[in-house]
Structure 1
């Protein structure tokens, strides 16, 4: 299981199959197709690369423990057990992704749960 943490070092999301992203409470949040992250309604959310989930502008939303590059990672806080995985909604046809921005060294002002 891949665990993702937010800019405060708190548990935020997890992925067990490399394609389905769940919020820590178990709610199905998004899916990863190639290196792009989409909400289940097909909206483009951001990018998955080098252990980071970034927003559409390239600013970092989440990191996994061995993420490479990006902004300074906070110390990870003690984590709880993730919630049971909820049902995944049907996937809508993914919208076109914008051109990929350069890798960023800044944190996004956005929160993944607000983007879904």
Structure 2
């Protein structure tokens, strides 16, 4: 799997994703992807990943990947982002039960990538 940038509502790189791992902007694992669900590093369900968008518990978009479809209007991205050196992968936690699914909204979340996953 390829390391891919994750952009915030301003089009800045706020993190990275590769396979089932979510990274901070500086390359540390801070969360997990599992069957369309987003989990914190400790295994708490914090939202969803669908159609290239990371959504919070309210259904708003926190961040997006290059292949994102739908959702709020995306800003222009700067040039090719610098890929960080990746930290070691921690042991996967026991994942919590998923929240009930809600309607996805075409709005930006007030959460940042880091606060979303902590």
Q: Structure 1 length as normaliser, TM-score? A: 0.90
1:87 aligns with 2:85: no
Does structure 1 residue 36 correspond to structure 2 residue 37?
yes
List 4+ stretches of structure 1 deviating above 4 A: none
Structure 2 CA distance for aligned equivalents of residues 77 and 11 of structure 1: 9
Partner of 2:26: 25
Counterpart in 2 of 1:6? Answer: 8
Aligned residue runs from structure 1 range 87-106, under 5 A: 87-106=88-107
What 5-or-longer segments of structure 1 have no aligned partner?
none
CA distance in 2, matches of 1:53, 1:105: 12
Q: Is the 8 A contact 1:11 1:79 kept in 2?
A: no
Contact kept in structure 1, 2:8 and 2:62, CA below 8 Å: yes
SS of the counterpart of 1:21?
strand
Q: CA deviation at 1:79?
A: 4.7
Distance in 2 between residues matched to 1:45 and 1:111, nearest whole Å? 13
Q: TM-score, normalised by structure 2?
A: 0.89
Residue-pair matches, total:
115
- Unaligned ranges ≥5, structure 2: none
